[in-house]
Amino acid sequence: MFKKKLLPKLIIASVAAGVLTFTPNAANFISVPIIQTSVAYSASTDDHFNRGLNYMEAGNYNAAIAEFTKVIKINPNLLAAYNNRGVAYQSIQKYNEAIADFTKAIQLNPQAAGAYNNRGDVYRQIQNYNAAIIDYNKAIEINPRYANAYKNRGLLYYEMKNYNAAITDYTKGIELNPNDADMYNNRGSAYAELNNYNAAVNDFTKAIELNPNYALAYNNRGAAYGNIQNYNAAIADSTKAIALNPNYADAYFNRGRIYYTLKKIMKR
């Protein structure tokens, strides 16, 4: 699954020379990574399709592509095979091939909201933001209750620094799927970019309630606490993030900035 890390930076409030990092979660933004079908056009098609699914689950995307290609040769009108192969191509950063497969899926079914959403996500990743917005909008037009399309469009707006629009989309996504910890984390990151740190803390806290092992949300909440000068809470959250992920560089960085800030305050 494709992973992308964003590192927007915020100046620490009332503290000279220092930054804390906030990170929205962009790791799982393919809303329909795999389409499964119970329609068996032939035993051979079904076998190749299922092997493709298994390879996808194992992260062996080249093997998955080979299997879905075999399915397409047998049945060139199977939307799910194009969609799934597109996701596999996207996962190994073959974006042109992914766009071609999602486009074919849309041609086979112009009401395939998932294919529009997935193609939009590829466009977002290659920073073709106008095309991405068009596809996310179409996915939502087809299915107004498509929570992950709002989630993905929210990430797009975040990357475009349109934080109010991102908050609006995450709020709608949360309304449709209130148990998605990522959406609370990402809305909190958008609030933080607007210096609304109390709202950010509330969202990061909710993300942690939903996923107590969410290192990213602990780090982000710690950064928000640092910006409202709740330094003990900031250190505790950064430390928790490090305990959950000992290789989490941003958490070490943020905790280091807090220690530095406290040292400067003590010297005043």
The two structure tokens encoding residue 61: 């995307």
Cα–Cα distance, 153 to 222 (Å, whole number): 26
- At residue 5, the pLDDT reads 31
- At residue 25, the pLDDT reads 65
Query: What is the number of other CB atoms lying within 10 angstroms of the CB of residue 37?
Result: 17
- Please check whether residue 50 is in contact with residue 63, taking contact to mean a CB–CB distance below 8 angstroms: no
Nearest to 139 by CA among 115, 155, 157: 115
Q: What is the mean pLDDT of the chain?
A: 86
Give percent of the chain above pLDDT 70.
84
What's CA 198's distance to the chain center, in Å?
23
- Please check whether residue 181 is in contact with residue 10, taking contact to mean a CB–CB distance below 8 angstroms: no
Cα–Cα distance, 57 to 242 (Å, whole number): 28
The two structure tokens encoding residue 132: 């991405």
- Please check whether residue 156 is in contact with residue 132, taking contact to mean a CB–CB distance below 8 angstroms: yes
**Which is it for strands 19-21 and 9-11: parallel, antiparallel or unpaired?**
antiparallel
| 248: three-class secondary structure by DSSP | coil
Cα–Cα distance, 242 to 249 (Å, whole number): 8
Distances (CA, A) of 185 to 58, 82, 88, 216: 27, 32, 27, 8
| 7: three-class secondary structure by DSSP | coil
CA dihedral 89, 93, 97, 98 (to 10 degrees): 60
pTM, two decimals, is 0.84
- At residue 255, the pLDDT reads 94
Nearest to 161 by CA among 206, 119, 129: 129
Residue 19 sits at φ, ψ, to 5 deg, of: -135, 150
Q: What is the pLDDT of residues 189-232, one digit of tens each?
A: 999 999 999 999 999 999 999 999 999 999 999 999 999 999 99
Cα–Cα distance, 219 to 254 (Å, whole number): 8
Residue 75 pLDDT level (bands cut at 50, 70, 90): very high
- At residue 262, the pLDDT reads 86
The shares of helix, strand and coil residues in the chain, as percent rounded to the nearest 5, are 70, 0, 30
pLDDT(141) > 60: yes
- Counted residue by residue, the chain has a size of 268
